[in-house]
Amino acid sequence: MSLFDRLQEQNNLFRMALGHQQATVQALDEILRTQPDKAELHYMKASLLYKTGQCQEALPSYDRAISLAPNNLLCMSFNAQEEVA
């Protein structure tokens, strides 16, 4: 991962911390265009969408994160919650 990519990810986390969820989702979409196989980014996007009440919109990102990293504990916890619900 390049320095630019790491800085973009850090900027996204900073925006999220400040409550700019929509801007963060848009920034994640930009990064995902160039790094579509980053499960963590898909999970972050899904979590933001879910936390802002956009549950249906979050599902494809959760599904993508799970398909990319099925053994990732964060993805596994979401998958388990879905099976229980």
CB contact burial 1-33 (16+ within 10 A = b; e otherwise): eeeeeeebbeebeebbeeeebeebbebbeebbe
* pLDDT digit string, tens, across residues 7-50: 777 677 756 655 778 888 888 999 999 999 998 889 889 888 88
Mean pLDDT computed over 49-71: 88
Mean pLDDT computed over 44-63: 88
Q: Specify whether the CB–CB gap between 69 and 39 falls below 8 A.
A: yes
Q: How confident is the model at residue 70 (pLDDT cuts 50, 70, 90)?
A: confident
Q: What CATH number is associated with residue 33? A: 1.25.40.10
- Is the whole model's pTM more than 0.75, yes or no? no
Residue 58 domain boundaries? 3-84
Domain count within the chain: 1
